[in-house]
């Protein structure tokens, strides 16, 4: 089989002491506006946990406490693989990439904004044990 190889990304489910999740309002040029978890592509030599920690710092200025892999999701169109990493978060997020994000905020499960970035939607579904969106093969893989 030939063709492009899917990109490997990570998404960080950061929860504060109140159980709220960190979401950013993504306003990247050329894309529709969505809400998403901190995340991005895996870089050479990184673990999934270190990639999630790097992305949370680069995007929102926050550290990830006790990161742990909990999910694996594959887009059925072949465009990507996303690994979910959960960890403790807290503090006041800062927009560090204004060309990508307009804001970061802690959000309760019952107050999730929409639309969610597709990879974030599938990871949050796996985290909370709800049905994953169509178009994904998604699996909970860890105890996080």
Whether 1 maps to a domain, the answer reads no
Whether 53 maps to a domain, the answer reads yes
Whether 76 maps to a domain, the answer reads yes
Please give the tally of structural domains in the chain.
1
Encode the chain (144 residues) as per-residue pLDDT tens digits. Answer: 566 777 899 999 999 999 999 999 999 999 999 999 999 999 999 999 999 999 999 999 999 999 999 999 999 998 899 999 999 998 999 999 999 999 999 999 999 999 999 999 999 999 999 999 999 999 999 766
Q: Which of 34, 38, 60 is nearest to 113 (CA)?
A: 34
Q: Which domain holds residue 58?
A: 7-140
Residue 9's pLDDT is what? 96
State the CATH number of the domain containing residue 128.
3.90.79.10
Alpha-carbon Rg for the chain, nearest whole angstrom, is 14
């Amino acid at each position: 089989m030939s063709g492009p190889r899917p990109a490997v990304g990570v998404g960080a489910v950061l929860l504060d002491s109140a159980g709220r999740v960190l979401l950013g309002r993504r306003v990247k040029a050329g894309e529709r506006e969505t809400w998403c978890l901190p995340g991005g592509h895996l870089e050479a030599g990184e673990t999934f946990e270190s990639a999630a920690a790097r992305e949370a710092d680069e995007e929102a200025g926050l550290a990830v406490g006790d990161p742990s892999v909990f999910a694996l999701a594959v887009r059925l169109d072949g465009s990507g693989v996303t690994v979910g990493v959960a960890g403790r978060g807290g503090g006041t997020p800062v927009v560090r990439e204004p060309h990508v994000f307009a804001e970061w905020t802690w959000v309760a499960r019952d107050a999730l904004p929409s639309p969610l970035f597709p990879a974030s939607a599938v990871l949050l579904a796996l985290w909370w044990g709800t049905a994953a969106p169509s178009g994904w093969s998604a699996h909970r893989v860890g105890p996080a």
